[in-house]
Structure 1
């Protein structure tokens, strides 16, 4: 583990600090449904090997007092696998989602590494499920998919050699001095990055003085839009915020969603967002409260090939999406334009610098802004082929992302040709969650119909 990996990035620390507000917990709960119970001994050995291969899975967070520096990852010398790998029983898929809901609402034990896996057995027809609970500071959706080969296999009976070495605690020095030194260096480095990225070189100024000025102004405006305070909730209906959660899944064929996107000339993400906003449109009409636009937070991956598996490499972009547009094809094109602007924003390269600034603000102030965002939506390219867990075949895989103060988090993850839209709903904002799920399903069906027509 390098000195850089020893400490949290500013963006990871941001999600960690928000934990002081239970409504802002950054907990990811993924569910893998299985055709039968996996072999417990093999599963235990595989998970144990993963904790050796990925040292972060045996590390806990140590935090300097009063936020004088970023938190540090430190090996848990008392690591106990039985705390992190558990087994229980349930009699239905609804009971599995209820267990996932409880996990999503429950905070982590901060004295231990930030993950818990629970095998759920006893489902009808001998089926089972694996609940995987992780903190967002530990990894993001793309990182979790890249971690999958440490646990899942493409064949039922793979050749498997356990990783032989135990992770070692490589942190250097006492927590507070080391964290201060690291944070100071990180801030200086971020400042340098901002100057180099935002400011044109002398040669650029000589060649194109007006263009150089526009570059600086455009960059400043992009950063300003990214950090601008959110002062209002756009939805006239989804206004409450609380601690209750409802989890459900809406599934569609990946080929259908791709065909709708190709037919309209947009991306799969645009088609997915159009399905979500279509659901939002129907939901608001059912409440006689039509709305023109809603504010969405969309995670954008900034992960590079050299980034470690267990790491969080996303930035959160907020923008308005059309809801009142009834034509799903036109809505897809409108979303495409706005999503492209977010994905190409100049502020993306300053993600850590922005997060470092937000980390200095009171948690309540930042959380108050996030709670005024209407919903969060993200899509993750999952495993494209059928995989197995200790001999059991995975039949479906969904990931419930945290609401982070929004009324709902809608996360699409593909698996073996099927897209599972996992809905994590704040029941204070959506007390009639069954109605919302029906509307979401209707919105996705409208988008898919575009490709079929």
Structure 2
């Protein structure tokens, strides 16, 4: 999927008016034109003749009467005369309609404004035709003009018997010139390819020549089209507010599920090595302000939610920097974890962009923590990592797209996989019993850092994947320190997010699916637990359940009425269907710096699903695997106990006998 295709997956219906409505607008405009054309012709003819003669007299006085020689020369050129007649009749209509369709399909954000300008210029012109009719030169042969259509008998052209119903006194202003000029303005506004704009420039010049050489217009008719287009475009820009981007269904999902007890902001704790030079709050504010153009959600907030409509992204005129970027002092890592746990328990206010940066000093000697948080409506975990990385140096290039694949084959494969996955989801048994939870906003937060090579070595030796090792470590850790829970089979169900983001796609938005895995948390040897999880984890690698879940999140949810979608989200993302979230996230590649300070570690921060007591994420950074553990205190009161148990499980797996299984991909 290209970046353009990804952009078109957004809520484009906000910018595009309904096609039927657009056709009705066009028909109404044409009906208005016909209404003026049906006015009594006799009194209009006398006024139109007088106005035409006055216009021609003004041109002669100004020495602008270039029409007679142009008309006389063209009348003697049989082939060119016919071509000019058809150019006059066809090309201005074709170019305008082609532009409208192209804007409607490819530039919906500009379509409404362009269409409004087009309607305005036609309404103003029709009013001029009604109030100030002007006879075209071709109807005044006594002034020396020749009607090239009548002269050549050009069938179907303007002025031929086929279109005798047209308004014969609609010369000032020239709609032919107005339409072609309007096309040029809109092509420039959307930055169309230079070759396209060059072709349209030629079309404008040719049209200007043709309307005079065919004796359909005076030069001043063409000149009058310039202010007409300018006024229409200027008015449209002020009448039509830019179409606000509506919050996509997968993103609105997290607005619907959020409660006072389950805030939904995600992010990470970025540990910076500031032993050489400190990082100041002013540095972070400067960096964010400088790169705001690359991070649109930093200046937007969801606004205007109604019962039947999703909110839209609104620009925030003034940012509350005192809230968005805050500096704190703590004592040791325990103090830092308490700060994160406290912030996790506080929902973000909806009256401002949904992001925060906390600069925390005192966690470790020579280290400064930057807590980077964004609401889940803004982005998923991978998107948050990408947005945080966008504030760092050196700049990171987008992930390269994969090899091209046949669209038909890809679509058929995805459709079959989705259908199979939907059947698998429908056949899944009821989830295990719930883990204990206090059900309050209070949180516990823990961190753990392990050598990435160690975890990869464990996975390689046991013939599993790194994700399987992470799941096993969480399951074994729960068995060792969690309060009694789980069902009689000794399992708990967790959601494992899987990235569905197109390579090089936009950083904002949620592009992850989730597959449920039942973790064995009963008593067993850790190698046996790992083997069991690897077997259960085949659902992560088959892809069918992920495709089905993504289809529901993205396509089915988009078609649901907003109230139904909100109820679905609250039902699906709760303790009734999952007891936790366990995520293994790809980290940024290569060494990075923030405000000049090198990254030492990054601990992910993942919100709890409503009623679910556990959220664990592992992120690979600088050859280390950094864990962030968020807990409901009803499950484990001491997060450090669980992180220590996770580390002990991985150590047990490291020292366990090798498993004779081929090494997997990690």
Report the TM range for the smaller structure's normalisation: 0.7 to 0.9
Q: CA, structure 1 residues 238+132, in 2 after alignment: closer, same or farther (shift >3 Å)?
A: same
1:190-269 aligned within 5 A? 218-224=420-426, 234-235=433-434, 238-269=436-467
Q: Tell me what 1:422 maps to.
A: 628
- Point out where structure 1 has 5 or more consecutive residues left out of the alignment: 159-195, 201-211
Q: Tell me what 2:540 maps to.
A: 342
Superposition CA RMSD, Å: 3.3
Shift of 1:16: 0.9
CA contact (8 A) 1:198 1:219 kept: no
Cα distance in 2 for residues equivalent to 1:54 and 1:132: 14
CA contact (8 A) 2:451 2:623 kept: yes
Shift of 1:198: 9.6
Q: Tell me what 2:176 maps to.
A: none
1:299 paired residue among 497, 500, 504: 497
Q: CA, structure 1 residues 358+396, in 2 after alignment: closer, same or farther (shift >3 Å)?
A: farther
Shift of 1:366: 5.0
Q: Which has the higher helix share?
A: 2
CA contact (8 A) 1:302 1:314 kept: yes
Q: Which moved more, 1:390-399 or 1:380-389?
A: 380-389
Corresponding position: 1:446 with 2:652: yes
Q: CA, structure 1 residues 114+35, in 2 after alignment: closer, same or farther (shift >3 Å)?
A: same
Corresponding position: 1:16 with 2:214: no
Cα distance in 2 for residues equivalent to 1:129 and 1:284: 29
Largest Rg, 1 or 2: 2
1:380 paired residue among 585, 589, 612: 585
Cα distance in 1 for residues equivalent to 2:324 and 2:414: 47
Q: Which has the higher strand share?
A: 1
Shift of 1:39: 4.4
Q: Tell me what 2:265 maps to.
A: 27
CA contact (8 A) 1:146 1:309 kept: yes
- Point out where structure 2 has 5 or more consecutive residues left out of the alignment: 12-244, 396-410, 660-666
Q: Secondary structure at the match of 2:537?
A: helix
1:49 paired residue among 267, 277, 290: 290
- Count of residue correspondences: 395
> Deviation per CA, 1:239-288, whole angstroms, max 9, x where unpaired?
54322100011221100110111112221111111111111222359899
Cα distance in 1 for residues equivalent to 2:483 and 2:326: 44
CA contact (8 A) 2:515 2:539 kept: no
1:121-136 aligned within 5 A? 121-123=361-363, 125-136=365-376
Shift of 1:32: 1.0
Q: CA, structure 1 residues 269+145, in 2 after alignment: closer, same or farther (shift >3 Å)?
A: same
Higher relative contact order (Cα pairs below 8 Å, separated by 6+ residues) = 1
Q: CA, structure 1 residues 64+287, in 2 after alignment: closer, same or farther (shift >3 Å)?
A: closer
1:305-320 aligned within 5 A? 305-320=503-518
Q: Secondary structure at the match of 2:261?
A: helix
1:51-450 aligned within 5 A? 51-66=292-307, 68-123=308-363, 125-154=365-394, 218-224=420-426, 234-235=433-434, 238-283=436-481, 292-324=490-522, 326-343=524-541, 344-345=543-544, 346-350=547-551, 351-356=553-558, 357=560, 360-361=563-564, 366-367=569-570, 370-372=574-576, 373-405=578-610, 406-431=612-637, 433-450=639-656
Cα distance in 2 for residues equivalent to 1:432 and 1:294: 20
Q: Tell me what 2:240 maps to.
A: none
Shift of 1:438: 3.6
Q: Which moved more, 1:442-451 or 1:21-30?
A: 442-451
Cα distance in 2 for residues equivalent to 1:198 and 1:393: 44
Q: Secondary structure at the match of 1:129?
A: strand
Shift of 1:432: 5.1
> Deviation per CA, 1:379-412, whole angstroms, max 9, x where unpaired?
1111343322112222111111011132110111
Cα distance in 1 for residues equivalent to 2:246 and 2:581: 27
